[in-house]
Amino acid sequence: MQPPKDLSVIPEPVSVHGTGGPGFTLDRGTRILVPPGSAAGIHVATTLAAELRRSTGFPLPVASAGADDRDGIVLRITGTGGLGDEGYTLEVGDRAVVVTSKAAEGLFRGTQTLRQLLPGAIDAGSVQRGPWRVPAVRISDHPRYAWRGAALDVARHFFGVDEVERYIDLMALYKLNVLHLHLTDDQGWRIAVDGWPNLTRHGGGSEVGGGRGGWYSKRDYQRIVSYAQDRYITVVPEIDMPGHVGAALSSYPELNCDGQAPPLYTGTEVGFTSLCIDKPATWRFLDDVIGELAALTPGPWLHIGGDEANTVPDDRYRAFVERVQRIVRAHGKRAIGWQETAKAKLEPTSVVQYWDVRSSADGVRAAARAGNGLVLSPASRVYLDMKYDSGTRLGLQWAGHVEVRDAYDWDPATLLDGVDRQRVLGVEAQLWSETLETIDDVEFMAFPRLPAVAEVGWSPGSARDWQGFRHRLAAQGPRWAAMSINYHRSAQVPWPE
Ligand code: NGO
């Protein structure tokens, strides 16, 4: 049976069937049932209950499912026939919504679909009037790519823990699963390192335009990591090197070849700073920074930057990247670096992140041929800091304008010819913050393009089409209003009045 017409789930699930009947209505008596003794089930159920209580005002108790319990929102952990850890099925009957997955991740992703099957008002921060109907459907779903990321630049302008958590909330609704934090750059150093306190004390106190900046204590960073973990999102921290290090150079004279610390920098030019590659102090510094950050980070990845080191000759650059990869490995992590790192001899487990659509991608192709995984962030598609059009108040335009359709209408499998599609781990939307000062600014650039990239990463190519997508996006408008998201009302989307 055809699914009901007004379904507007993003990302589009792999398969959706209407099953007829009235569907399910969430009410004051609804319980959320989990498998007895399942900590993962309780965890997912508790997060869902908190989300749904805010707007319904219902108690929604979480309880262990007894053998005969079939009413309510039922979360089940059991094999789902090849849907993988993030895959799930969701069945809506008159008496129950049943979400099934083989793992907690998949259960959580399924509950995010359930949110989107409910009216947009379900995502409001205060109690709203129902009814809270869920249409009668059967969904079977799993992601196309394992890496569906969003990067936030907290270096050019600083964003506090609460603001990052807000961004994580927005990512979770669209099933993104990697948060890449760009923690250091010329304009600011944002993460505490015990052995090098001046990095934050001095280097954390600036940002683009001369504002106060800010930085995360280790506890702050851990709060972000665990908030993300609760939503099955992996944090990938980035320490950019050997370039983009102005704040570090300004904090410690010994990191400079001439022993002189430059003043803090608040402009937006790129590519003119570098660590002093031959100094022993540089390597002590990198080992400490990477070691401390690795110890704080539960995920397997550490991003080493590597972009735009324009003052470093190629042979020195290659030797630098190779040595840094070894340090990352020694601290138990896998390295990911911007596409420039493909100039070096990469470890088999290292990943290359493609971004610069202006320069040749041959190095990236060679890395893929050698077996390295790729994360795709083509600037003309997924740089959410690009202006939508010439009228956009915020943003840059070095990669052109990126309208919603540009962010949506492309295929990661064929973006780079000559690259084996098996090498593509996924996609990542970038949000650089040279022009973004507040979380409102961040939201304006991310919405509606972030959900577009989320669908590129999740949905099968065959399920995607721009015409359908723009209508599903339009239907998210009331939900975004309920969530007070500051979104761009792109003329490409038929928003309801
Ligand atoms: C480039 C540059 C960043 C800028 C960004 C602005 C990469 C990987 N390095 O992307 O420093 O902030 O463009 O769009």
Q: Which of 432, 435, 436 to mutate to test the pocket of ligand 1 (most atoms within 8 A of CB)?
A: 432
- Closest Cα to atom 4 of ligand 1: 432
Is there a contact between 167 and 439 (Cβ–Cβ < 8 Å)?
yes
pLDDT band at 374, cuts 50/70/90? very high
Spacing, Cα 271 to ligand 1 middle (Å): 10
Q: Looking at the predicted structure, is the pLDDT value of residue 70 above 90?
A: no
Q: Which of 153, 307, 340 to mutate to test the pocket of ligand 1 (most atoms within 8 A of CB)?
A: 307
Percent above pLDDT 90 for the chain: 96
Pocket of ligand 1 (CB under 6 A): 270, 307-308, 338, 355, 383, 385, 396, 432, 434
Amino acid at 165: E
Quick one: which of 144, 148, 10 has its CA closest to 87?
144
Span 236-292, pLDDT tens digits? 999 999 999 999 999 999 999 999 999 999 999 999 999 999 999 999 999 999 999
* Backbone phi, psi, residue 222, to 5°: -65, -35
Round the average pLDDT of the chain to a whole number and report it: 97
Domains along the sequence of the chain with CATH: 15-141 (3.30.379.10), 147-461 (3.20.20.80)
Is there a contact between 302 and 335 (Cβ–Cβ < 8 Å)?
yes
Give the per-residue pLDDT at 5. 73
H or E segment to which residue 479 belongs? helix 466-482
Alpha helices in 218-346 (DSSP H): 218-230, 246-251, 280-296, 314-330
* Backbone phi, psi, residue 85, to 5°: -65, -30
Span 350-368, pLDDT tens digits? 999 999 999 999 999 999 9
Give the per-residue pLDDT at 66. 85
Q: Looking at the predicted structure, is the pLDDT value of residue 376 above 80?
A: yes
284 CB-near residues (< 8 Å, 6+ apart): none
Give the per-residue pLDDT at 176. 99
Quick one: which of 323, 318, 326 has its CA closest to 342?
318
Give the per-residue pLDDT at 1. 74
Spacing, Cα 183 to ligand 1 middle (Å): 13
Q: Quick check: helix, strand or coil at residue 189?
A: strand
Span 165-197, pLDDT tens digits? 999 999 999 999 999 999 999 999 999 999 999
**Residues involved in catalysis:** 308
| CA gap 429, 149 in Å, rounded | 6
Spacing, Cα 307 to ligand 1 middle (Å): 8
- Closest Cα to atom 8 of ligand 1: 307
- DSSP codes, 28-85: TT--EEE-TT-HHHHHHHHHHHHHHHHHH-----EEEPPTT--SEEEEEES--SS--T
Average pLDDT for 231-237? 98
pLDDT band at 79, cuts 50/70/90? confident
| CA gap 457, 233 in Å, rounded | 14
pLDDT band at 81, cuts 50/70/90? confident
| CA gap 346, 325 in Å, rounded | 8
Spacing, Cα 270 to ligand 1 middle (Å): 8
pLDDT band at 69, cuts 50/70/90? confident
Is there a contact between 495 and 473 (Cβ–Cβ < 8 Å)?
no
Q: Which of 182, 208, 308, 357 to mutate to test the pocket of ligand 1 (most atoms within 8 A of CB)?
A: 308
